[in-house]
Amino acid sequence: MPLLEVRDLIKDFGGLRAVDGCSFSVESGSITSLIGPNGAGKTTVFNIISGTIKPTSGRVLLGDADLTGQAPHAITRHGVGRTFQIARELGDMTVVENMVVAAPARGLLSVLRRDILARERSRAMELLDFVGIAHLADEQAKNLSYGQKKLLEFAAVLMPAPRLVLLDEPSGGVNPALLEHISARIEDLNRSGVTFLIVEHNMELVMRLSHTVVVMAHGDVLTHGPPDAVQVDDAVLDAYLGVA
């Protein structure tokens, strides 16, 4: 059963059609990767799903809910999480404070409720432990290494307990040992029922983690299928290398 369905998405930036009739679905409980050459439109599709930009036309459906054109916070409430860059102003807060800020807003009064704050802090600590940076909870976020920031970003996305997590290039700038650690956590979460849609250029990682691979080129879906079939598809080789 599809959890996420993207239908006939089009996105124009001025005269440039960045996404051109893109349709695909993400099976509930799967790890699905979205791959394709630079400029294929992958990040633009992510931005549309997570609500940071609106499509020119087309639909984004999550189960029975129509997410098309909804604001990012509304999409988060539907259970879709997305990695985000840690904002500069949040660098002055501690790691655990960054986590609590990422929790779903329950209205202004709730921040004054000590019991809610305590619950969120304890969930934050659990998740920091899960990604392996609980010992840094009281460190200023700005003092973290790049890799530690990646782990904080990953943990923060999990705060609202998303059903679907969108990761844009989780391997970017990450060393092999840390990448191993991150991919193991993705698999743990997936076994516990979290669905993933991952944009990634590291083909070894894509082929190892994914149940389904969706290949984009020129704003549209070229092909999709299990990793071993996509890997040997002539049209995919052609899109990447201009051969075949």
Ligand X SMILES: Nc1ncnc2c1ncn2[C@@H]1O[C@H](COP(=O)(O)OP(=O)(O)OP(=O)(O)O)[C@@H](O)[C@H]1O
User: CA distances (Å), 222 to each of 77, 179, 218, in order?
Assistant: 31, 28, 9
213 makes contact with ligand X (CB under 6 A) = no
107 Cβ contact list (under 8 Å, min separation 6): none
Query: Binding segment for ligand X among 36-44, 202-210, 220-228, 230-238 (CB under 6 A)?
Result: 36-44
82 makes contact with ligand X (CB under 6 A) = no
39 makes contact with ligand X (CB under 6 A) = yes
For ligand X, the closer of residues 18 and 209 by Cβ is: 18
Closest separation between CB of residue 11 and Mg ion, Å? 13
162 makes contact with ligand X (CB under 6 A) = no
Kindly write down the DSSP assignment for every residue of 156-209, as one continuous string.
HHHTT--SEEEEE-TTTT--HHHHHHHHHHHHHHHHTT-EEEEE-S-HHHHHHH
13 makes contact with ligand X (CB under 6 A) = yes
| DSSP strand pairing (212-217 vs 220-225) | antiparallel
For ligand X, the closer of residues 53 and 102 by Cβ is: 53
For Mg ion, the closer of residues 18 and 26 by Cβ is: 18
The site that binds ligand X (CB under 6 A) totals a number of residues, namely: 11
Tell whether the torsion through CA atoms of 184, 186, 188 and 190 is positive or negative. Answer: negative
| DSSP strand pairing (2-13 vs 31-35) | unpaired
Amino acid making up residue 16: L
| Residue with the two structure tokens 């840094």 | 136
Residue from 43, 52, 223, 231 in contact with Mg ion (CB under 5 A): 43
Residue from 3, 6, 9, 18 in contact with ligand X (CB under 6 A): 18
29 makes contact with ligand X (CB under 6 A) = no
Q: DSSP character for 131?
A: H
For ligand X, the closer of residues 82 and 163 by Cβ is: 82
Residue 87 sits at the vertex; the CA angle it makes with 188 and 54, to the nearest 5 degrees, is 80
Query: Binding segment for ligand X among 33-41, 72-80, 140-148, 151-159 (CB under 6 A)?
Result: 33-41
Output the residue with the shortest Cβ distance to Mg ion.
Answer: 43
40 makes contact with ligand X (CB under 6 A) = yes
Tell whether the torsion through CA atoms of 238, 240, 242 and 244 is positive or negative. Answer: negative
Residue 51 partner contact from Mg ion, ligand X, none using kind-dependent CB cut-offs of 5 to 8 Å? none
- Rounded to 5 degrees, φ, ψ at 136 are -100, 10
58 makes contact with ligand X (CB under 6 A) = no
Which spans of this chain sit near Mg ion (rule: CB under 5 A)?
43
Which spans of this chain sit near ligand X (rule: CB under 6 A)?
13, 16, 18, 36, 38-44
